[in-house]
Structure 1
Amino acid sequence: MDELVGLEQVYAAAERVAGRLHRTPMVESETLDERFGGRLTLKAELFQKTGSYKVRGILNKVLTLDADERGRGVITLSAGNAAGSLAWAARAAGVAATVVMPAGAVPAKVDAARSYGAEVVLVEGDLLAAYERLRDERGLTAVHPFDDPTVIAGAGTIGLELLADRPSLDTVLVPIGGGGLVSGLALVIKELLPSARVIGIEPVNADVVSRSLASGVPEKLPTARSVADGLAAPMCGVHTLAHIKRYVDEVVRVDDDSIVEATRLVMSRTKLALEPAAAATFAALLEGSVTLSPDGLTACVISGGNLDVTTVLAR
């Protein structure tokens, strides 16, 4: 098994990005507590720079690159949030960025990446193949959106903040795409609060992590489509699968209709403009695949807020 990220790497990431990123708030809602029969606390990463937790890991990665790697420019592939995060982080570090995105990406996410100064390459078809071709042709430095120990360590800084603000957690619910967020967060939670359960939630039509856990190896999906575009990763990573096997208690799947219903519910009750990917945890509560402990505190990670409102309103 690949070497796991350690707490010391997460602490180093927290020190590295300190003062560059926001310390995001915790939000509570009595209405949601009553609706789901327990106590909830929400880690509002939609208020992070670029509107997503993704920038934590990607900025950490960019700041660790050497002069040669920076000079060659950086590249990533993304449905949106990693693209915007790399574009922002590269601009902050004075590095040229290229982002490869699907042609059907949310327009607001494409516009955000461009507004931060990145070259956006929109691709019909195989995103990974296009990314690898551009990387090799131009000699660019790869910044993987999730399957990188430095990126995972950056995501783990959410766990440090979460436990500092809510040290007596019973359960943590985390959206899963490629697994970078749950990997970093779970390792921190399990190392510092072993009694807490960590449950990942992914869309049923983009369930690459569930499939990878079943087979024991990182899987790829021929198609991965969901209203939660931020969770529609076509592949699971080697590093992320190793962390999920070690630290995550359970992974459950939810359907798109529940994700849309959950997005509307949370927006209505909390006034947080979360994107569908961030509502996946609440979709699991709606479907009953996850239930709250009546005596404990459950944290839900609101992973981002870069939504296309028509996606939610049109269904």
Structure 2
Amino acid sequence: MEKNNSNGTVTFYPNNYENSEEDVHSLSTKGRLLSYNNQLKDSLHNGLKFTELLDELIETTDSQNLLRAAMELTLFQLDTAYLVFPQQYSQSDYYLIFLNRLLQLHQNEQVILQSSDRNDELYHEFPGINQNGYFTFRIDNTEEGGAYYTEKNTGEILFYLNFQRRILHFNSRAITNLLVVDYSKTYNYETVKKFEMYLMALGEYFKKDYGFDVDFNIMDPSNSTFYQFGNSGIPQAALDKLFIQAARENFMLVTGLHNEAILKLDNGVEVTIYDKSIEDSSATLNKWGLVVTDDDHKISWFDLLFQYDFIRTWYLDNLSSLEIQSNPLYF
């Protein structure tokens, strides 16, 4: 038993101590102790649940279990008011770990998961690019389950990934700035192409394994891909320049039956620039863009920007009217 002294402290007495007054302080103190103990137990169970999820993320060979563990870990609140773990991985780290594990399951782990003691974080490094590529995830604080795959030195966001919405969308502006402009100054096409193939592989795995909506943007090699310009107006000035620049390289820009501009390149590759809105009688706005076609469905707009110097120069010099549009909801 316990008794409240005049100074406000609570005194504990043996159970056989006789006191005619019911000591409410004894009851409240016991309740607080029990509550505290239960909260500790709950916190410890929460920690054990976390370790089970982390085991799953690290060890599982099932792609569905892998995604489930990653989704839970990126939203998991490990600390409680009663138990704090001073050493933890961040939410963004779990996205990186997930990508590596997904690549492992497909026996295609091209990117290296590194740990930075200086920044106290995990990051991706790609062989061949090394110090010029420090890739992390930046959490989207407006959409649950979303994060941006970012090259930290430049701030370029290569793609947006959202587990809850099941989408992966690539950013044409960042891919152009980082891979086409920056990396082309230092690395040859083969090296940059390997990195692009890594990004493509990620998209294919998300699409195949999980049914994600994947927008490959300028990297999509399908002949049916329409690369829409961000500017809806007719790029007449840019087309006039392309006619001149192509002619200098012994290529002809010709006009098709529906006033589309057709550039015929080597090995049966064609670039067609036209207003897609003409295919929709209800359209009220122009929708200018381009299509790349080849016999094997292997050539994308990204490839042409590397394979033809005059195309790269023309595109970069006229981005105000030609820049390929990315999803405006995320970029």
User: Could you say which TM-score interval applies, normalised by the shorter chain?
Assistant: under 0.3
Mark the structure with the bigger radius of gyration.
2
TM-score (norm 1): 0.27
Q: Which has the higher contact order (CA 8 A, sep 6+)?
A: 1
TM-score (norm 2): 0.26
Query: Would you tell me which structure has more helix in proportion to its own residues?
Result: 1
